Structure 1
């Protein structure tokens, strides 16, 4: 399996934290995934997180991007955790 970059965009809300936990749980046993969490409330030292959110088309948080593309689990305002699992694990 090719290494995947999984980026999670949050605002620190309870649903965001659940999404971060889900992503970390799904990827914890695999060195094939790199997880980066961006809390948009905290801002980035650079504008990287805001730029990426804009580039990926993030309209609401939480949102997950995999390898530079907004994941299907997050394209309809909210996170579908079954779809998220399938996308991360390649099912």
Structure 2
């Protein structure tokens, strides 16, 4: 399986933390790179806000895989079954 860049956009809420944990659990035995952006804390640069805008993030939490908003997050919320399939390639 090819390495993926998995970016998680959060606001520090309990649902966001569950999403971060799910992503880390799914990627722990892979070569995937996981980056977490807490939009409440901001970034030193505008990188997190710019990426959220570029990817079309409309609600938090959201996950982007290889520069594209994941299908699991396109309907206001995270569908964890879809997220697992997208990360693991199932």
Give TM class, smaller chain: over 0.9
Q: Which runs of 5+ in 1 are unaligned?
A: none
Over residues 38-76 of structure 1, what are the superposed CA-to-partner deviations in whole Å (9 max), with x where a residue is unaligned? 000000000000000000000000000000000000000
Aligned partners of 2:66 and 2:33: how far apart in 1? 10
SS at 1:76 equivalent: coil
Show the counterpart of 2:9.
9
**4+ aligned runs moved over 3 Å, structure 1:** none
Q: CA deviation at 1:2?
A: 1.2
Q: Following the alignment from structure 1 to structure 2, what is the Cα–Cα distance between the partners of residues 83 and 2?
A: 18
Name the TM-score, length of structure 1 as normaliser. 0.97
Output the CA distance in 2 between the equivalents of 1:4 and 1:68.
10
Distance 1:66 1:8 in 2: 9
Deviation at 1:32, TM superposition (A): 2.1
TM-score (norm 2): 0.98
